[in-house]
Amino acid sequence: MNAKSLLITFEGGEGCGKSYQSGVLSRKLTELALPVILTHEPGGTPFGNKISRLLKWDDKQKLSPLTEMLLFNASRAQLVENVIKPALKTGKIVICDRFTDSTIVYQGYARGLDLNLVSKTNEAATQGIKPDLTILLDLPVEIGLSRKNKLKPDRFHKENLAFHRRVRNGFLKQAVQDPERWYFIDGRQPKEKIARIIWERISQLFAERTA
């Protein structure tokens, strides 16, 4: 990994604002003429986008938790090999809307797969690449789901409240276990304020890297 490269990931439950805030951060970095790539999971490559459609929108087949986990990591492996790894090698800042922690939380904590199995599969798919910073946008489940009510619900949005509460609790547990990497933000705040908070943390991260 290049000394100037960074991998910044956004995590959180449904409707927390990850896609919006990752886009805001990407545009801010671009305005400053910093080399940045914005990507997302599942997807981010032509192959990954096909897997994403299967995972999120194919209601004809019931996927087992193990199948879900393996499909997410097949998409991830392609994204890492084709996009993330080359970008980091050339000193770019990579922003990813969801990454390995989502698989640990959704398929591990929420679906009940063995956490060690999920972590080892994630590690194989990422070739050991880990985020430098993970921003957690935390939101009560009911608020997050209500924000997405105007959108067509995908397979995960359709899950019951108990599932989504396990997702939220899983993210919170992950953040507690690795406080140096995770940055917790209350997602109920106005989006403009959240963007400012994120930028303050990114600025601090830049200062730490150049110190």
Model pLDDT, residue 153? 83
| pLDDT value of position 3 | 53
CA angle in degrees (0–180, nearest 5) for 18-117-48: 45
Residue 161 confidence (pLDDT): 96
Q: Pick from 46, 11, 6, 1: which is nearest to 171 by CA?
A: 11
Domain boundaries, the chain: 6-210
pLDDT tens per residue across all 211 residues of the chain: 555 899 999 999 999 999 999 999 999 999 999 999 999 999 999 999 999 999 999 888 889 999 999 999 999 999 999 999 999 999 999 999 999 999 999 999 999 999 999 999 999 999 999 999 999 999 999 999 999 877 788 889 999 999 999 999 999 999 999 999 999 999 999 999 999 999 999 999 998 887 6
Separation of alpha carbons 107 and 146, rounded Å: 23
- Global pTM? 0.94
Per-residue pLDDT at 4: 80
The superfamily CATH assigns to domain 6-210 is: P-loop containing nucleotide triphosphate hydrolases (3.40.50.300)
**What pLDDT, on a 0 to 100 scale, did the predictor assign at position 152?**
82
Please give the pLDDT value at position 78.
98
CB neighbours of 105 closer than 8 A, spacing ≥ 6? 11, 167, 170, 171, 174
Number of helices (H), then strands (E), in the chain: 9, 5
What is the pLDDT, as a whole number, of residue 211? Answer: 65
Please, is 201 exposed, middle or buried when counting C-beta atoms within 10 Å of its C-beta (0-12, 13-18, 19+)?
A: middle
pLDDT at residue 14 in the model? 94
